Structure 1
Amino acid sequence: MLGKILQSLKWYVFSLEIPFRDAMHAYDPTSLRLFVAVCEERNIALAAQREAIVPSAVSKRIAQMEAQAGTPLLARGRRGVALTPAGETLWRYAREALQLLERMQAELTAYAEGVQGQVRVFASMSALAQFLPADVGRFAREYAQVRVSMEEREIWEVVRGVEEGRADIGVCWDAVDLGRLQRFAYREDRLAVVLPTGHALAGRKRLRFADTLDHEHVDILGRSIMKTTQQRQAAIAGKPLRTRLQVATVDAACRIVAAQLALAIVPREEARLFEQPLGLAVVPLADDWARRRFVLAVRDAKALTPAARLLLDSLRAGAGQPAG
């Protein structure tokens, strides 16, 4: 994270077309802070009073910056100062650079003191049943002083919880409307058909969803987006989605399948937990929509607490590793 901040500072300086080494001398944090104060007060004397420094020192700093820029930054008048176009540009970059430095200092302080705090995570059922616990476990072993609370929620509630600030990070399928939330790629899974081993479809290597519509399905409550998606795909295929039973968990759905009462469509990794114990066949769905992409959703990554930002970065870094 610190490296990213320093790279951002370099970019701000380069965008002003100033040699980096010279610019770091003329545009040091103190000079930038004084310049921002002048821009906000529109008066050098008032800015000097605010920053507890003599006006002549402020004027000298600004003169050095103007010399480095090769153009006036302020238009001085009897009642105060006005910004030139170059001054407006520097003011914008100066504020952003100072904000980055403040963030850097806050994060370094947190590391020095030992990052502590609590991070609240809302996650969909599938994320909690598959990869999220292992990923959070790895994080918890590295940052023992950070407490991570995870709550299972329906997808729409994951989004609303992050929007309302009840959760720091949301983990869910990207099929839901995430609104204005920032999202980061996390992991993927694939849906599969769970069948009794003697079922007519059990010998296939892959199945199309349309192939399952002549058979009765188990409906798993709490997975509304998945159900809506299947109903839409059934309508496209011109066949009804025949639901025989409703259950609350994948475990219960697999036991219904083992009893040869219906088939079930669940995430492949979840189904494999019951494949051998219950003697089931797990056949991946070949449809494009059956490949699900999960995201990490936050309101503003820059505004996260150090503990929440650490967890977000850890989950993003671990997304390329095998789950478990």
Structure 2
Amino acid sequence: MSLKLFVAVCEEGNIARAAEREAIVPSAISKRIAAIEEDAGVRLLVRARRGIRPTAAGEALLRQAREVLGALARLQAELSGFASGVHGSVRVLASISVLSERLPDDVAEFLARYQAVKVSFEERLSPEIVRSVREGTADLGVLWDAGELQGLHTLPYRCDHLAVLVHASHPLARRRRLKFVETLDHEAVGVMPGSIMETMLRRYAAMAGRTWVHRIQVSTLDAACRIVAAGLGLAILPREVCEPQARSLGLRLIPLTDAWACRRFVICMRSPQTLTAAARLLVDHLQQCAGVQSPSKASPR
């Protein structure tokens, strides 16, 4: 309980907000943290201009505390699962593209086959997925392999293909294929601020000596399609997700020819040896769905 309170204070940067989040009085949190500092013999928190922040020792404790709490949460889920006749649970974090494509269907097929297993999956940006897997608060992550995956073990999953979505009246609408650099003279729609996609588009524009500028930014693929349909710009989107909506809205979807436009998705984990039996079953199933022969060991990045 004390570790959970310490993590809450670090994340909120404020004891009062942490107390509200954990449904406890602020004075109780202060006493718990004081006791931890006394036992450790070091200062763990300091007051700064923008609130409370951890010291160097506090950062070390924060990393370890998240791992411990994650392990305890998984253990509790496993034990409660056995009590209710469900043998195991797996927490999966995935990027919006993965969740918009085949992952939900693949997981549904898995659950139909293994009814004694629980699977929860949530949408997150790639940096959040990587951080959660590294900290042990998620069992698996599924994302584009362009992310910073060093130190994690990865296995191939599926792939998709990026294309340029434009209104039928757009100057590029008659093109059969495009290079990304050819889109940079036209107004763009940004999708998912802070995502790997946005970072990569800026990077490749910079490599061409250009700047990628979006006129409007939205948080979902569906919203991007509607903005394009209104004639407010073009969008770089996965073809597999957007084809049905492009047809229904009368939009043109033009393949990108850049090598990086074929996105390879991976399943990432801290280590194959730390996976529960349920998580290993899910990994094997996802690879079978993707037509990938599952190797005996995952490959470190």
**Could you list the runs of 5+ residues in structure 1 that have no partner in the other structure?**
1-113
How far did 1:248 drift? 1.2
Task: Determine the structure 1 residue equivalent to 2:270.
Answer: 299
2:106 match: secondary structure: helix
Q: Answer whether contact 2:155 2:268 (CA < 8 A) is retained.
A: yes
Q: Answer whether contact 2:178 2:257 (CA < 8 A) is retained.
A: yes
Q: Which amino acid aligns with 1:175?
A: A
Q: Which amino acid aligns with 1:217?
A: A
Q: 1:152 aligns with which of 120, 123, 139?
A: 123
1:107-122 paired onto structure 2 within 5 Å: 116-122=87-93
Could you tell me how far apart the structure 1 residues matched to 2:184 and 2:139 are? 40
TM-score for both structures, normalised by structure 2: 0.66
* 1:255 aligns to 2:230 (yes or no): no
**Could you list the runs of 5+ residues in structure 2 that have no partner in the other structure?**
1-84, 293-301
* 1:125 aligns to 2:61 (yes or no): no
1:286 match: secondary structure: coil
Aligned residues: 208
1:22-61 paired onto structure 2 within 5 Å: none
Q: Answer whether contact 2:178 2:255 (CA < 8 A) is retained.
A: yes
How far did 1:316 drift? 1.2
Task: Determine the structure 1 residue equivalent to 2:34.
Answer: none
Task: Determine the structure 1 residue equivalent to 2:165.
Answer: 194
Could you tell me how far apart the structure 2 residues matched to 1:243 and 1:298 are? 34
Q: 2:208 aligns with which of 227, 231, 237?
A: 237
Task: Determine the structure 2 residue equivalent to 1:218.
Answer: 189
* 1:207 aligns to 2:153 (yes or no): no
Task: Determine the structure 1 residue equivalent to 2:59.
Answer: none
Q: Answer whether contact 2:193 2:218 (CA < 8 A) is retained.
A: no
Q: Answer whether contact 2:159 2:262 (CA < 8 A) is retained.
A: yes
Task: Determine the structure 2 residue equivalent to 1:16.
Answer: none
Q: Which amino acid aligns with 1:289?
A: W
Task: Determine the structure 2 residue equivalent to 1:19.
Answer: none
Q: Answer whether contact 1:154 1:222 (CA < 8 A) is retained.
A: no
Q: Which has the higher helix share?
A: 1
Could you tell me how far apart the structure 1 residues matched to 2:270 and 2:212 are? 37
Could you tell me how far apart the structure 1 residues matched to 2:231 and 2:193 are? 23
- Give the aligned CA root-mean-square deviation in angstroms: 1.5
How far did 1:115 drift? 7.0
1:265 match: secondary structure: strand
Task: Determine the structure 2 residue equivalent to 1:280.
Answer: 251
Q: Answer whether contact 2:94 2:141 (CA < 8 A) is retained.
A: yes
How far did 1:238 drift? 2.4
2:136 match: secondary structure: coil
Task: Determine the structure 2 residue equivalent to 1:12.
Answer: none
Report % sequence identity: 52
Structure 1 residues 169-205: Cα deviation after superposition (integer angstroms, max 9, x where no partner): 1101111121211100111111110001122211222
How far did 1:289 drift? 1.1
Could you tell me how far apart the structure 2 residues matched to 1:236 and 1:301 are? 36
Q: Answer whether contact 2:110 2:282 (CA < 8 A) is retained.
A: yes
Could you tell me how far apart the structure 1 residues matched to 2:96 and 2:193 are? 8
**Larger radius of gyration between Structure 1 and Structure 2:** 1
